[in-house]
Amino acid sequence: MKEISVAELKAKMDAGEDFQLIDVRETNEYDYVNIGGQLIPMGEVMGNLDQISTDKEVILHCKSGGRSGAIVNALMSRGYNNVVNLRGGILAWAHEIDPSLPTY
């Protein structure tokens, strides 16, 4: 599974790179804190494959990287070779990039 660090994600954002960021947490988690990704809860991803880009990098994240890692693996098994897991998830983002974000 390909992974990216929060520092690498921040650099991509700052550089204005074209990629899709998907948050696979639940709606209540997203409402509490998010980093601007498109919300597709883990249980809904496979039913919404039409929303996942096939022509650019897709970075998936959750709270700590476990759920998004499972989805990255599931997508890769279906032929998606453009999917990447955010190592450490939003907790790593809050710890390393933006300590003002609430954690849970």
Q: Comparing C-alpha atoms, which of 44, 37, 34, 41 is closest to residue 58?
A: 37
Query: Which amino acid makes up residue 100?
Result: S
Catalytic residue (choose from 4, 35, 42, 62): 62
CA distances in angstroms from 104 to 29, 36, 89, 95, listed in the order given: 9, 18, 12, 12
Residue 40 a catalytic site member: no
d(CA 51, CA 70): 18
- Active-site residue set: 62
